Amino acid sequence: MSTSKHSILSKSRELFEQHGYGKTTLTDIAKSIGKVKSALYYYFSGKEEIFAQIVRDEAEQFWNSLAAEIETADTVEDKLHLYVETRVELMQKIAKRYHFLKKEFFELMPIVEENRKETDRLEKDTITVLLMDYPKYEGTDESTVRFKAEMLVNTIKGLEVQMYVTDQVLIDQKSLPIFSDVLLNGIL
């Protein structure tokens, strides 16, 4: 990727985080990389596309960290526990970082959702594959397992929305293992 494209994305991200999406103008972005706003159109089709690309990059990086972390465990159980704990941790970081999304939630969330579809699928696929390897699901047809995997991922995503929308940090560091235990092994 060209240096210009990269610095546009990098500076835009900073500006969005500092002032929010709406308050950041293309002139601001262009000025931050020492160009004029029309120059941005050589790399992106418009403001929304810049935001979309940031979302895609962020999502990819998010998933790469998460997938790498899962790899370090040996058993399915451990992988899943690591998944839940790391997922929640990363989520809380991202929610803090994109605090500005709160004000513009209904405007921007559809764009976020749209551009996360790819990594979303990767995530659900991975959990499904993990579960398929779990003795309990030996011989269970994939659609059933996938359904449960989606349920797990969606439950965690539910917390993510809650983080964006409300201000409460939901799960602190020390409660994380308990949370993961309840989610994976059930409350009963």
Closest to DNA by CB, 24 or 180: 24
Closest to a copy of itself by CB, 25 or 175: 175
Size of the site for a copy of itself (CB under 8 A): 33
Distance CA 99, CA 163 (A): 9
Residue 68 C-alpha from the chain's centroid = 15
Encoded tokens for 60: 């990819």
Q: Does 161 bind DNA (CB under 7 A)?
A: no
Residue 148 phi/psi, 5° resolution?
-70, -40
Q: Which helix (H) or strand (E) holds 107?
A: helix 105-132
Given 34, 74, 138, 187, the residue binding a copy of itself (CB under 8 A): 187
Residue 75 phi/psi, 5° resolution?
-95, 165
Q: Write each residue from 10 to 49 as x if it is in contact with DNA (CB under 7 A), else as -, in one continuous string.
A: ------------x-xxxx--x---xxxxxx-xx--xxxx-
Q: Does 136 bind a copy of itself (CB under 8 A)?
A: yes
Closest to a copy of itself by CB, 38 or 174: 174
